[in-house]
Amino acid sequence: MPSVEKAGPGPGEEQQQLVADLFHALNQPLTALRCSLELALAKPLTAEQYRATLSRGVKDAAQVAWFSAGIRELLGASDPGDRRQNLALDRYLEEVVSDLLPLAESTGVSLSCTCLSRCKVYFEPHRLRQALFHLLEIGLEPGKPDSVARIQLSEHKGEAVLALSYASGAAAVLQNPGTDPAATRTMQCCEAEFPPLELVSRLRMAMARGAFEAAAGVFRSSADREGSWIEIRLPLVFSS
């Protein structure tokens, strides 16, 4: 694995830009929903036209709910929780990988995981599982060439080291998530592609980073033409 360093804007700037992009995208289904309802009230419609209007309204409302839930979870990602305990990171990682194998197979992704050490970390159970899901799902979205080629967990100098390598398709999101040209395209075609994959990747990355950093972890990422890498270091806890 190459030297891993943070690239582009800092985590705080990335989150601010992501929240701004999420609110911008949220405005589209809200505007569409309001317009369709106003048009339905403006003049009598046939039963078929009312059904079509309601169908579009349900779709727009589902998008609003998705964005709202994403923003809410993102803003709470840095809260470590009040039910933290000593957890076996290797066991949680193996369980999440097992749960994601069917999705990986359906998208043609080769997903491998190696646990070289048994590592205990201080984390809230639900938040650890959620953070691992967000982290691994970045390379599993359908219709993209991304893949999680390797996941490795090891121990080094009192820290649990979780290293992930992705195919080169994920490089844009990891290298400069706030200014990726795909963001502009996503904003323009939100209705055609939902949920918008570029925003999904950036949201998952930000939520995973927030959760691991809230647990006193260090989150680093890097990308080049050959691929993208993430390294997370968490302090180990030892049984007395």
CA distance 206 to 8: 14
For the range 79-85, what are the long-range contacts, defined as Cβ-Cβ under 8 Å and sequence gap of 24 or more? 79/214, 80/124, 80/127, 80/214, 80/215, 81/124, 81/126, 81/127, 82/124, 83/124, 83/125, 84/122, 84/123, 84/124, 84/215, 85/122, 85/123, 85/124, 85/125
Q: What is the pLDDT of residue 40?
A: 87
β-bridge partners, 221: 230
C-alpha pair distances (Å), 199 with each of 32, 124, 206: 20, 26, 10
pLDDT tens across the length of the chain (240 residues): 444 444 445 667 778 888 888 888 888 889 999 998 898 888 888 899 889 999 999 999 988 888 888 888 888 888 888 899 999 999 999 999 999 999 888 877 888 899 999 999 999 999 999 999 998 888 776 555 556 668 999 999 999 999 998 875 544 455 555 444 444 444 444 445 566 777 888 888 899 999 999 999 999 988 777 778 899 999 999 865
Query: Could you tell me whether strands 120-123 and 85-88 are parallel, antiparallel, or unpaired per DSSP bridges?
Result: antiparallel
Q: What percent of the chain has pLDDT over 90?
A: 35
pLDDT digits (tens, 9 = 90+) for 162-221: 999 887 554 445 555 544 444 444 444 444 556 677 788 888 889 999 999 999 999 998
Backbone angles phi, psi at 53, to 5 degrees: -65, -45
Q: What is the pLDDT of residue 175?
A: 52
Please state the pTM of the whole predicted model.
Answer: 0.74
Q: What is the pLDDT of residue 3?
A: 47
Q: What is the pLDDT of residue 15?
A: 80
CA distance 82 to 184: 38
Q: Could you tell me the CATH superfamily of domain 11-235? A: Histidine kinase-like ATPase, C-terminal domain (3.30.565.10)
pLDDT digits (tens, 9 = 90+) for 163-173: 998 875 544 45
